[in-house]
Amino acid sequence: MPLYFDHAATTPVCPEAAQAAMEVMTGQFGNPSSLYPLGKAAAQRRDADRAIIAQALGCLPEELFFTSCGTESNNWAIRAALDLNRRVGKHIITTAIEHSAVLEPAKLLAAQGFEVTYLKPDKTGRIDPADLAAALRPDTALVSMMLVNNELGTVLPVREAARAIREAGSAALLHVDAVQGFLKVPFTPKDLGCDFLSLSAHKIRAPKGIGALYIRRELHKKVKPLMLGGGQERGFRPGTEATAQIAAFAASVAAWKPGTADAIRAVRDYAADTLSAIDGVEVITRGEAPHILPISLPDFSGQSVVEALGSQGVCVSSGSACHRGKPSHVFAAMPLPPKVRLGAVRISFGPDSTTAEVDELAALLTQICQSKSLLFKR
């Protein structure tokens, strides 16, 4: 079995989610838009599943719209917010450490005439709320800020951003990418003060291919549909609903018991203490989120460490899985020494992670650092 330390990239599907998906695929497979009993049963199951997720998120079920993934949710939120505020202006504020699902749309919008301000992190990967307040302008239409950074585990000042927008009397709408934060750090959309919020199920032990977007109820009469079609998701996101994935999403939420995040944090903290004691390993930052730990082996490139560990069945990453081996823009945005930045590796944990697994990883990293070689055996 591999040593899996890449839960921030994706998670193994929990038994409850797999069972729920199988139940729907084999016995409750009706189209929710159909009017016969099998279709109506599918619609009832979908609505019940939506209610489970909404309750965990702390919003109304009708404020939660299913999408295919977090990337779709982010793109939809950005587009919808800018359309709603098209008369406000063409200024966007985001951060230099957002996921590419926000940075790439921002890049495209900049080419189309929008002006984008990128807030920079400090050496611990944190954003100064004062920088956000100073960046607000009368023509700021959108602030898009992730809740938990997917490579650092730091919690960004979303609540402070919402407060700054209110205190400035700004019309800017606030979008939050909460893909890495859901169920791992406590929040509700109302508590954050956001207008849009993105989720992805495969980060919490559900299958890939299902996500959600929270849209504050007061905006519903003004938001345009993501696309046009058969009118599903109250007309906002047409397309036959992925009922099996939705059922798995809800089941994974229900299976996430109180105390799970604390248990993950205990393993992460043990890893931080254990790995930082190795000569040749540095902990870059210890973020507020419980499941992510960025480290560096400054004598090596992070990518080479990832590949060497991978050859021995150990799964870590040198940044977001979406980078596909390219240097991480997150670590590049931080004022770190070049060798620390080059040697950065992300380790991330889940409910099944153990301290024994950490000990095994520590032994391998010790072997690398002592031998100054990536040629080793597990």
Same domain, yes or no: 33 and 133:
yes
Question: Could you tell me the CA-to-CA distances from 200 to 6, 126, 232, 244, 349 in Å, in that order?
Answer: 16, 23, 19, 15, 17
Residue 361: both structure tokens together: 């990883």
First-to-final CA distance of the chain = 12
Domain stops at, among 255, 285, 318: 255
**Count of structural domains, the chain:** 2
Domain stops at, among 255, 275, 310: 255
Domain stops at, among 193, 220, 255: 255
Same domain, yes or no: 155 and 27:
yes
Residue numbers of the domain that contains 292: 3-11+258-371
Residue 40 domain-assigned? yes
CATH number at residue 300: 3.90.1150.10
Same domain, yes or no: 283 and 138:
no
Judged against a pLDDT cut of 50, whether residue 109 lies above it is answered with yes
Name every residue whose Cβ is closer than 8 Å to that of residue 2 and which is 6 or more positions away in sequence. 313, 314, 315
How do residues 154-204 score in pLDDT, each as one tens digit?
999 999 999 999 999 999 999 999 999 999 999 999 999 999 999 999 999
Residue 377 domain-assigned? no
Residue 359 domain-assigned? yes
CATH number at residue 206: 3.40.640.10
Same domain, yes or no: 330 and 182:
no
- Report whether 316 contacts 277 (CB < 8 A): no
Same domain, yes or no: 130 and 230:
yes
Same domain, yes or no: 85 and 187:
yes
How do residues 201-256 score in pLDDT, each as one tens digit?
999 999 999 999 999 999 998 998 888 888 788 878 888 899 999 999 999 999 99
Same domain, yes or no: 185 and 266:
no
How do residues 145-154 score in pLDDT, each as one tens digit?
999 999 999 9
Question: How many percent of the chain have pLDDT more than 70?
Answer: 97
Residue 216 domain-assigned? yes
Catalytic residue among 69, 194, 322, 369: 322
Residue 378 domain-assigned? no
Same domain, yes or no: 290 and 217:
no
Known catalytic residue at 14 = no
> What average pLDDT does the structure give for the chain?
94
Judged against a pLDDT cut of 70, whether residue 43 lies above it is answered with yes
What pLDDT sits at residue 321? 47
How do residues 310-358 score in pLDDT, each as one tens digit?
999 999 998 654 555 566 899 999 999 999 999 999 999 999 999 999 9
